[in-house]
Amino acid sequence: MEYEYFYDREIKFDLQTKKLSPCSGEFEMSSQNYIEDFKGNADCDGVLVLTNLRLIWYQNDDKRINLSIGLDTINSSDIKTERNLKIGLELTLSIKAKLNKNKFEFIFKTKNGEPTNIFNLFQQVCRGYQATKIYRDLKRGAIIQDKTLQILPNEKVISKYPNVRSVGNEIGIIGNLFLTNIRIAWFATNNESQNISIPWIQISSITKQNIKAGTSLLIEINKFTGGYILGYQTDQIDHCLKECNQLKEYYCQNPDFGIPKIGDEYDSSYKSKLVKREEDNIEIIGTIINERKNISRNYMTSQITTSANIPDQSQDQSQQGDIIFSSELGLAIEKPPQGCKVEDLWRIIKSNS
């Protein structure tokens, strides 16, 4: 099993409404109504939702018009108080973000003049996100003290494997391998500075393979961290492999991103807004996509020259630009959105013609 959601590392526009709901390990910190998305949807009432992974805005009248800004993409933020002739004092949250080589600016404003703490809370959560990156990112450095793994909050060491040989960059170096509920950690026996911390969330697969160095435990890292492979050898390789995959599967079902909840009570208002009368929430795929195809340009402050790298408005990056042969039409077409067939699109076109 591989963890599927990386909302904290993406900037998305006009997501399917089901993807606005919290994913595994994600929870709401706060939400606020009457917030304006000034750059993309000026003069529209919307709801701003802050989770431990992202900042979400959606329009009150149509939730298909929305933004999802991952906390990992945010470079800086600023809160200002301005005087508005209609409502008096107006709070503004400005966010600078970057995805790949594209830079974005988002501006959110209060529309009714009422005080809100979600802007300040957003900055606090961003600081908490940065301070807990070891839960989510590969790290080398001060993770070992006195030949013992420094334990994180809510972390438990499950197993320790001695005499584990690295077959990666530190080829032939003997060390100790720790398995916890959060990560895999390895460090060299004779040099604690040679170490690595690998969160389960970063791992695509763990397999046993015969390579040039011999039978090894190969750990494949996901695309967000480079997609490379780390290798280790141990006399207990079968037991270690089984335990790794069990811990990884459990983590994917119960992820811990390290960011604590704010306060003791969980506010379920966001979930209720999205789930209520879900059976009546029928989406016509394609209509809003065509109308808002270039919406991301409203937020861009700089971009690379090739338009192919502009973030997609409505689909996952893995679905962009796939060309398939349509037997119904007898020609090559772009792959329809997930769950949508060519004949479904044809029926929509016919009904509107």
Q: How far is CA 160 from the centre of its chain?
A: 30
Query: Residue 115: its pLDDT value, please?
Result: 64
> Is the pTM for the entire model greater than 0.85?
no
Q: Are both 128 and 141 inside the same structural domain? A: no
Statement: residue 11 has pLDDT above 70? yes
- pLDDT category of residue 114 using cuts at 50, 70 and 90: low
More confident residue, 334 or 134: 134
Looking at the chain, which runs of residues are DSSP E strands? 11-13, 28-37, 41-51, 54-59, 66-70, 74-84, 88-99, 102-110, 144-145, 148-149, 157-166, 173-180, 183-188, 191-199, 203-211, 214-221, 229-233, 300-302, 323-326, 331-334
Kindly tell me the sign of the dihedral angle through the C-alpha atoms of 302, 304, 307, 309: negative
Among 122-126, 297-301, 333-337, which stretch is predicted with the lowest mean pLDDT?
A: 333-337
Q: Are residues 264 and 124 in the same domain?
A: yes
Structure tokens at 184: 């895999």
Is 287 inside any structural domain?
yes
In a domain, 196, yes or no: yes
Segment of 97-111, 298-312, 325-339 carrying the highest mean pLDDT? 97-111
User: Do 118 and 19 share a structural domain?
Assistant: yes
> What is the percent of the chain where pLDDT is above 90?
55
Same domain, yes or no, for 293 and 328?
A: no
Same domain, residue pair 127 and 147: no
Beta bridge partners of 187: 176, 195
pLDDT of residue 235: 94
Query: Could you tell me if 60 and 102 lie in one domain?
Result: yes
Could you tell me the CATH number of the domain that includes residue 51? 2.30.29.30
**Shared-domain flag, residues 196 and 271:** no
pLDDT recorded at residue 147: 85
Q: How confident is the model at residue 203 (pLDDT cuts 50, 70, 90)?
A: very high
Per-residue pLDDT, 320: 44
Structural domain count, the chain = 3
Average pLDDT for 10-37: 93
Longest CA pairwise span in the chain (Å): 74
In the prediction, which pLDDT does 213 show?
82
Residue 139 carries which DSSP code? B
Domain membership of residue 2 (yes or no) is no
Same domain membership, residue 157 and residue 50: no
Same domain, 184 and 121: no
Owning domain of residue 301: 7-132+259-309
Render pLDDT for 281-296 as a digit per residue (tens, 0 to 9): 333 334 444 455 567 7
Flag whether 1 is in a domain.
no
Identify whether 315 is part of a domain. no
| Co-location of 87 and 230 in the same domain | no
11 and 128 both lie in a single domain: yes
Please report which confidence band the pLDDT of residue 310 belongs to, taking 50, 70 and 90 as the band edges.
very low
Whether 316 is in a domain gets the answer: no
Q: Does any domain span residue 163?
A: yes
Q: Which of 206, 233, 253 is the last residue of a domain?
A: 253
pLDDT score of 276? 35
Taking residues 132-147, report their average pLDDT. Answer: 91
pLDDT digits 0-9 by tens, 215-254 = 999 999 988 777 888 999 999 999 999 999 999 999 999 9
The reply to whether 314 falls in a domain is no
Q: Is residue 131 within a helix (H) or strand (E), and if so which, with residue range?
A: helix 118-131
pLDDT for the residue 298:
76
Asked if pLDDT for residue 309 goes beyond 50, the answer is no
State the CB neighbour count (10 A cutoff) for residue 197: 25
**Same-domain status, 89 and 175:** no
The one-letter amino acid code at 176 reads N
308 pLDDT higher than 50: no
Give residue 4's pLDDT band: very low, low, confident or very high (50, 70, 90).
Answer: confident
Mean pLDDT of 45-54: 95
Residue-wise pLDDT for 55-91, tens only, equals 999 999 999 999 999 999 999 999 998 777 766 678 8
